[in-house]
Amino acid sequence: MHLAVPRFVVLGILGLVLGIVPFIQFPTTSSSERPTCSPQQLSHDSRYPAHWWAPVAKEGAPSWEILPQEAGPGEVILSKRNELGLLSNFSATPFTFKGKHYASIEGFWQMMKYSEGPNDPRVKFPGLEWKYTREQVGELTSFEAKNAGTLADQNMKKMGITWVSFEGQQIEYRPAAPGEHYRLIVAATCEKVRQNAEVRKVLLATGDLILKPDHHQEPNPPPAWRYYEILTQIRTELQKQQ
């Protein structure tokens, strides 16, 4: 049997509830007491230098840069703002590879876009200006080497080619799967680490941290572009030798 509740009773109960609720005291937390998870407050493994994660103001930072404090748990950004920058392709860490001297991995990388001699189709192509020689690019570092590569990219586009070269062999520059270009970059990076004691020391100092780039990359970049993964492979091999 259902009992009909008079409408005035229902209204009375609602009025009582609505009259009491505003006076119920709920626990509050001031903004200063609320827990936060800002990068500055995240703790890091004491085995590693704290300055690797030292916060850097975003204001004034280059748009391409990933700042040290943006590392996730167990990660470290290979920032050019500290000694981890030695691991960058841009760093002035000279090495010899297959009998030739290079000032940086970036110089080695961009050098492959330039002509190898008078019979090279790149130098024979009409209407192109090559600001540098292959040897000059190999001795460049940092953004100077990168800019030399950008100039070469423009010429390659005009020619309609997608290859670079090494020791007379044309090599696809951006293959879908790791190819000869990737193999050369790995081999050159190995030599950079082997021939520069400070680079080797810094790389080993990263222990088991996940190495991350200090600049924004395209989604799913080709393997040769993932220098942090190449360095991780080299680090693993060095750790086995210890």
Residue 95 lies inside a defined structural domain of this protein:
yes
Query: Would you state the pLDDT for residue 15?
Result: 44
Query: Would you state the pLDDT for residue 125?
Result: 97
- How far apart CA 116 and CA 187 sit, in angstroms, is 20
Residue 180 lies inside a defined structural domain of this protein:
yes
Query: Would you state the pLDDT for residue 57?
Result: 96
Give me the residues of the chain with pLDDT under 70, please. Answer: 1-43
In this structure, what CATH number is given to the domain that contains residue 202? Answer: 1.10.357.40
Query: Would you state the pLDDT for residue 42?
Result: 52
Residue 160 lies inside a defined structural domain of this protein:
yes
DSSP annotation of 186? H
- How far apart CA 174 and CA 238 sit, in angstroms, is 28
Is-contact 215 64, C-beta < 8 A?
yes
DSSP annotation of 121? H
- The per-residue pLDDT for range 65-102, each reduced to its tens digit, is 999 999 999 999 999 999 999 999 999 999 999 999 99
Query: Would you state the pLDDT for residue 33?
Result: 46
Q: Residue 200: give the domain boundaries.
A: 86-241
Residue 117 lies inside a defined structural domain of this protein:
yes
Query: Would you state the pLDDT for residue 34?
Result: 44
Query: Would you state the pLDDT for residue 176?
Result: 82
Query: Would you state the pLDDT for residue 43?
Result: 61
Is-contact 238 200, C-beta < 8 A?
yes
Chain mean pLDDT for the chain: 87
Query: Would you state the pLDDT for residue 200?
Result: 98
Query: Would you state the pLDDT for residue 23?
Result: 37
Q: What are φ and ψ of residue 75, in 5° steps?
A: -110, 160
Contacts of 81 (CB under 8 A, 6+ apart): 56, 68
Residue 15 lies inside a defined structural domain of this protein:
no
Instruction: Count structural domains, the chain.
Output: 1
